[in-house]
Structure 1
Amino acid sequence: MSEKFEIRREVVVPGTPEQIWAAISAETAGWMFPSPLEIPADGSRPDSPIIADWEPPRELAIHMQGPDGWFNNLEYVVEARDESTAVVRYVHAGVFAEDWDNQYDGASKHTDFYLHSLGQYVQYFAGRPVTYVSAEGPEASSAPEAMGALRGALGIASGATAGDTVTVDVPGIGTVEAIIDYIDDWFVGLRTENALLRFYGRNAFGGNVDAAHHLFAADADGDAATAAWQAWLSGVFA
């Protein structure tokens, strides 16, 4: 039986309300995944029935509804905190059709990682053109110990924390030098000079280990990067 859920967060983001508004409305590919919304060039309200609130740079609400009472709502409220930071109040509400506890746990943990990535994007890459690439791990990456294998392949030592540096060779890309900006049992976030590299331990929630990266280099080749990271991820779990 379907059951409702609600996830609430309040985070401080290093940036202005205008930068954060741009990130949550038009630039989601820079920190989460590309939005299906087509934002007009002048930044006016999109012509979309799923937009419930559009009040730049303060409030954005996206409400999606379906049959049998299904809904999925995302809401942001942005308020300036001082000259260089703002508070983002976020609510995600909807319906899970089955496996409620596991789905809620996964959605809650993903929320924390995505909101962290929002802060990283606004602080280091706001407004820069982005190439979004993603790769899905093979079936072997669904194993309980898969994230340990991933961390080992990334050169992340036991006990590593945010702020530590790693170096990893990725065939087709070269040597990647990065700072760990997020690490726990489920996710790894790496930041380079021109990228946010994100690894998702969805094996904990019934899926595989996946990667989704946000590339900000002007010459980024999305197809080549996708192929390289897909091959690397497949090699980790061969």
Structure 2
Amino acid sequence: MSEKFEIRREVVVPGTPEQIWAAISAETAGWMFPSPLEIPADGSSPDSPIIATWEPPRELAIHMQGPDGWFNNLEYVVEARDESTAVVRYVHAGVFAEDWDNQYDGASKHTDFYLHSLGQYVRYFAGKPVTYVSAEGPESSSSPQAMGTLRSALGITSGTAVGDATSVEVPGIGTVDAIVDYINDWFIGLRTEDALLRFYGRNAFGGTVDAAHHLFAEGADGGSATTAWQAWLDGVFA
């Protein structure tokens, strides 16, 4: 039996409403994942039936409908707080068909991580061309101990905190020097000079430990980066 859910957040993001609007509308690959929307070059509303509200730079609403009462709605309201920050009010509402508690828990925790990554993107990389790469962990990364294994591979210990430095060797890429910008039991975020590296402990929600990275280096090769990070992730959980 399907059941409705709603997730609400209010966060302060370092940036102008215009920068944040660009991030949530056209630049989602820089902090979350690529959007299926094709945004016109002039910034006008996409020709898409799922756009419910398009009021730059203040309000964006995406409403998706399906059979049997299914829906998935995303809404953002952006308000300037001062000259360098803005408040983002976010609502995600929809329907889970089964395993409601686990799906809600996972969606809620993912929301916090994505909104944090939004802030990191706007602060450090706003407007830069991005190459998005992702890799799924092997079945062995679905175990309860998998995030501990990942932390060790990333050089993260029980005493590591946000702001600490770490480094990891990735064959095919080399030494990756990074700052820890997010860490809890479910997610790890690393920031380098030209990337946001994101690791998702979806083993806690019935999945695997996955990676999705946002590369801002000029000329980044998405194919080789995907191959390298996939091999690294497979090796960590071999």
Answer whether TM exceeds 0.5 for this pair.
yes
Aligned to 1:99: 99
2:174 corresponding residue in structure 1: 174
Q: Which residue of 1 aligns with 2:49?
A: 49
Q: Name the counterpart of 1:22.
A: 22
CA distance in 2, matches of 1:109, 1:128: 27
Distance (Å, rounded) in 1 between the aligned partners of 2:221 and 2:158: 33
**Paired position in structure 2 for 1:70:** 70
Question: What is the aligned partner in structure 1 of residue 33 from structure 2?
Answer: 33
Partner Cα distance (2:3, 2:167) in 1:
44
Deviation at 1:122, TM superposition (A): 0.1
CA distance in 1, matches of 2:43, 2:171: 40
Q: Report Cα offsets for 1:8-32 as digits up to 9, x if no partner.
A: 0000000000000000000000000
Instruction: Measure the CA separation in 2 of the matches of 1:209 and 1:8.
Output: 25
Residue of structure 2 equivalent to 1:79: 79
Q: Once the 2 structures are TM-superposed, how far is the Cα of residue 157 of structure 1 from its aligned partner?
A: 1.4
In 1, the alpha carbon distance for the partners of 2:67 and 2:218 equals 43
Name the structure 2 match of 1:145. Answer: 145
Instruction: Find the aligned partners of 1:77 and 1:234 in 2 and give their Cα distance.
Output: 40
Q: Report the CA distance between 1:225 and its aligned residue.
A: 0.2
Q: Which amino acid aligns with 1:179?
A: I
**1:151-166 superposed matches below 5 A:** 151-166=151-166
When structure 1 is superposed on structure 2, of 154-163 and 94-103 the one drifting more is: 154-163
The runs of at least 4 consecutive aligned structure 1 residues that moved more than 4 Å come to none
Q: What is the CA–CA distance in structure 2 between the aligned matches of 1:219 and 1:24, rounded to whole Å?
A: 24
Displacement after TM superposition at 1:198 (Å): 0.1
Instruction: Report the 3-state secondary structure (helix = DSSP H, G, I; strand = E; otherwise coil) of the residue aligned with 1:127.
Output: coil
Distance in 2 (CA, whole Å) between partners of 1:178 and 1:61 is 34
Aligned to 2:88: 88
In percent, how many aligned pairs have the same letter? 88
Residue 8 of structure 1 corresponds to 8
TM-score (norm 1): 1.00
Within 5 A, what are the aligned runs for 1:154-233? Answer: 154-233=154-233
Q: CA deviation at 1:159?
A: 2.0
- Measured after TM superposition, the shift of residue 65 of structure 1 is 0.3
Q: Give structure 2 stretches of 5+ with no counterpart.
A: none
Moved more, 152-161 or 130-139: 152-161
Q: Over the residues paired in the alignment, what is the CA RMSD in angstroms?
A: 0.3
